[in-house]
């Protein structure tokens, strides 16, 4: 008969009861649930209604079938960044600086130089300034002073406003050295010296005054005229020569380190060195120098400060590059 709808055959009661599984005797086993589902005869295939592309609700899509609802992608190929809590620094948060533990105050030591009494070498790292490469505007130099453990010892900041872009690398400057508390413990000043006259004239030789604490002069770094190489003398506060700094014949150092030797007055013994490290393309095109200073651990702390100051005069004279200026027609 056409009006009779086929139904599923009835199952015996004992077969239905057998579908309920007996509980698992194990104490840690999860409980079993019976769905009481009795399979029936397959029904007629019903086509999906309109608004359900691919047989899925609106707003969903199948990876195997084309869909009018593409997945959202970040613009410019940017991928979302996920941070594990407590391991990475979140964006827009300053990276903490690890400072060298502050030593105790020492007698006969200028305040702030106690760090140098515990060190036999330091690293001078100049900050990279992309503004100088993109424009012709000269910016103030900044340096990080670190030890071998990558701990911050000092921060050096140039304080020059009036003559920075007028005299470029020949500009007079003031460098302020601060400690972890932001206190200025040392000041280095370079006066302006005219280079138009003869190089052997004393008035054209470069000089750097080192003060520690600021306002109290502890010595000078004076340039000496030499035809082939860079030569400096480290002087006391009374302008008495104590040591000499002897540079290489070629101070450019393309492809290799530039070593400036610190020697005694007679030139027989080697006291230390100031090494300008070669950093590849960054040294050739950028203005971000890396110096490594070596001196004996038991050297007088004032002479360590003088060698430290000589590093900056060398940097400004030989490794400070002026940004290219636009030629006007």
Q: In this predicted model, what pLDDT tens digit does every residue of 69-116 receive, in sequence order?
A: 444 454 555 555 444 444 445 555 666 889 999 888 898 899 999 999
What are the DSSP calls for 219-255, one per residue? Answer: EEEEEE--SSS-EEEEEETT--EEEEEE--S--S-TT
Interatomic CA distance for residues 71 and 61, integer angstroms: 9
CB atoms closer than 10 angstroms to residue 247: 21
> For 160-164, what is the mean pLDDT?
61
Q: In this predicted model, what pLDDT tens digit does every residue of 270-314 receive, in sequence order?
A: 999 999 988 766 555 556 789 999 999 999 999 999 999 999 999
Mean pLDDT of the chain: 75
pLDDT at 170: 64
pLDDT band at 316 (very low <50, low <70, confident <90, very high): confident
Q: Are 206 and 226 in contact (CB under 8 A)?
A: no
Interatomic CA distance for residues 159 and 142, integer angstroms: 10
pLDDT at 83: 44
Domains of the chain, CATH where assigned: 114-319 (2.40.160.200)
* Tokens 């900044």 -> residue: 142
pLDDT at 124 over 60: yes
Which of the pair, 219 or 278, is modelled with greater confidence? 219
> For 41-48, what is the mean pLDDT?
59
CA distances from 83 to 80, 90, 91 (A): 10, 7, 10
Record the pTM: 0.66
CA distances from 276 to 3, 169, 263, 319 (A): 100, 17, 17, 9
Interatomic CA distance for residues 260 and 177, integer angstroms: 22
Which of the pair, 244 or 82, is modelled with greater confidence? 244
């Amino acid at each position: 008969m056409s009006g009779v709808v086929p139904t599923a055959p009835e199952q015996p009661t004992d077969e239905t009861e057998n579908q309920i599984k007996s509980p698992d005797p194990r104490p840690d086993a999860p409980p079993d649930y019976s769905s009481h589902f009795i399979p029936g005869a397959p029904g007629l295939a019903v086509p999906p209604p309109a608004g359900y592309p691919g047989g899925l609700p609106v707003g969903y899509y199948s990876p195997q079938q084309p869909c009018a609802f593409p997945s959202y992608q970040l613009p410019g190929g940017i991928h979302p960044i996920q941070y594990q809590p407590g391991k990475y620094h979140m964006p827009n948060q300053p990276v903490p600086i690890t400072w060298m533990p502050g030593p105790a105050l020492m007698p006969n030591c200028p305040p702030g130089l106690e760090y140098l009494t515990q060190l036999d070498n330091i690293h001078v790292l100049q900050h990279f300034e992309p503004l100088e490469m993109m424009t012709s505007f000269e910016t103030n130099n900044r340096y990080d002073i670190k030890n071998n453990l990558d701990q911050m010892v000092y921060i050096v900041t140039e304080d020059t406003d009036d003559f920075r872009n007028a005299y470029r690398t020949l500009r007079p400057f003031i460098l302020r050295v601060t400690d972890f508390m932001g206190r200025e413990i040392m000041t280095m000043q370079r006066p302006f010296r005219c280079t138009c006259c003869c190089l052997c004239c004393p008035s054209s030789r470069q000089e750097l005054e080192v003060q520690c604490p600021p306002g109290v002069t502890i010595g000078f770094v004076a340039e000496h005229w030499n035809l082939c190489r860079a030569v400096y003398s480290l002087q006391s506060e009374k302008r008495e020569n104590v040591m000499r700094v002897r540079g290489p014949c070629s101070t450019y150092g393309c492809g290799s380190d530039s070593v400036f030797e610190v020697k005694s007055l007679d030139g027989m013994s080697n006291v230390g060195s100031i090494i300008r490290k070669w950093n590849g393309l960054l040294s050739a095109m950028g203005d971000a120098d890396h110096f490594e200073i070596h001196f004996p651990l038991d050297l007088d702390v004032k002479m360590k400060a003088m060698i430290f100051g000589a590093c900056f005069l060398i940097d400004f004279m030989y490794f400070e590059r002026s940004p290219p200026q636009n030629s006007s027609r």
